[in-house]
Amino acid sequence: MSAWEELGDRTWVRRYPEYDVNVGLVVGSEGALVVDTRGDLEQGQQLLADIREVTELPVRWVVNTHAHFDHVFGNPAFPEAKSYAQENTAAAVAETVAIDISFSVAKVIELGDRRVEVLHLGNGHTDGDVVVVVPDVDVYFAGDMIEESAPPSYGEDSFPLQWADTVDRLIGLLTATSKVVPGHGAVVDAEFVRDQNSDIGTVANTISGLHHNGTSLEGALAHAEDWPWPQAHLEQAVRRGYAALGAPPRPTLPLLGLEKDE
């Protein structure tokens, strides 16, 4: 059974075996804030019970890092809390989960004697990714922009060509002592984030290079070299990248050795 891991003053993460998902908990003088709520109502209710192991303060705020079900469908277990998400996330889950407060770029949530900052740094895993920052303890809940227990997940709503630039903005906020909580897996540091982002950048550059060279989508999907992760894992990355870039240019034939007409 998982347990709470304290990352700093009144700041915890709990790693659940279902989907290997991480949940964050930040407590201030006026209540508790939860980062992501697991995959359904029952899991959310179990999370609420688990929170009572470390605090009896009410859960007044919920922040969802993105729209995927394993991070947001537990929200109904917290009916007294105000839920926050980036506006694209709120739109994506509107038919299944209500978000109380949506925003475009940034939101500050005051917990009484401390604050939490919620930042949308750009597109990556989805178009609604946010990083939840706890400044006084140098902790960053990064959602699925960063993953530790598996390669980053490129789904049908990912942005493989923009992802590395978005993580670069996160890296710009980190210090040598920052603790970064990925959406799935163990807590990591800034060096891990930099290393993983190098691989994310390699995926983007390989897709762009194949496209620039006139490789068809089918050819790119069959390309077996240069990838940092298994080719099969990157099918949607290639498809999404090519969709963003449009039809590849037609390869041109070299004209060397041909005489010009006089």
Percentage of the chain lying above the pLDDT 70 cut = 95
Dihedral, CA of residue 147, residue 232, residue 121 and residue 63, to nearest 10: -50
> What is the pLDDT at residue 260?
47
Task: Give the integer Cα–Cα distance in Å for 19 and 33.
Answer: 22
> What is the pLDDT at residue 252?
59
> Quick check: 104 pLDDT over 50?
yes
Q: How far apart are the first and last CA of the chain?
A: 83
> What is the pLDDT at residue 254?
57
> What is the pLDDT at residue 108?
98
The answer to which of 73-77, 88-92, 249-253 has the lowest mean pLDDT is 249-253
> Quick check: 1 pLDDT over 90?
no
> What is the pLDDT at residue 2?
81
115 within 8 A of 107, measured Cβ to Cβ: no
User: Angle at the Cα of 196 (from 193 to 197), degrees rounded to 5?
Assistant: 80
> Quick check: 256 pLDDT over 90?
no
185: which DSSP letter?
S
φ, ψ at 192 (rounded to 5°):
-60, -45
SS3 30: coil
The mean of the pLDDT values for the chain is: 95
What is the per-residue pLDDT across 138-156, written as a single tens digit (0 to 9) for each?
999 999 999 999 999 999 9
> What is the pLDDT at residue 57?
98
What is the per-residue pLDDT across 28-78, written as a single tens digit (0 to 9) for each?
999 999 999 999 999 999 999 999 999 999 999 999 999 999 999 999 999
Domains and CATH numbers, the chain: 4-245 (3.60.15.10)
What is the per-residue pLDDT across 170-191, written as a single tens digit (0 to 9) for each?
999 999 999 999 999 999 999 9
pTM of the model: 0.94
Residue 90 buriedness (CB in 10 A; 0-12 / 13-18 / 19+):
buried
Task: Give the integer Cα–Cα distance in Å for 192 and 12.
Answer: 20
> What is the pLDDT at residue 262?
44
